[in-house]
Amino acid sequence: MKSEQDYRVRECVHRAEGAAGELYRGTAYVSQLQRLPSDAALRAAARVTPFFWADAAHINVWLCRDCAVELRLRERESDAA
């Protein structure tokens, strides 16, 4: 079991603009990213602070609703735990 402090958080650029959103598991983010066409994946990835995909299990990604919809990420962190 890992405490929350073991997780590092990456976030999309819209958080700084005050957008509403929530945290998702890094692994879910990466797997959804890999399902997108490469051009869409590059666009989506460019909005989030980069990290090594190998570290995804230790990372939470904060996404605004628009970014989450584009990545088809509906699974809430609280439901996945």
Q: How far is the CB of 56 from Zn ion (least distance, A)?
A: 18
Which one, 1 or 74, has the nearer CB to Zn ion? 74
For Zn ion, the binding residues (CB under 5 A) are: 12, 14, 64, 67
Which one, 6 or 17, has the nearer CB to Zn ion? 17
Q: How far is the CB of 19 from Zn ion (least distance, A)?
A: 6
Is the separation of the CB atoms in 10 and 51 below 8 Å?
Answer: yes
The CB density around residue 9, as the number of other CB atoms within 10 Å, is 13
Which one, 61 or 64, has the nearer CB to Zn ion? 64
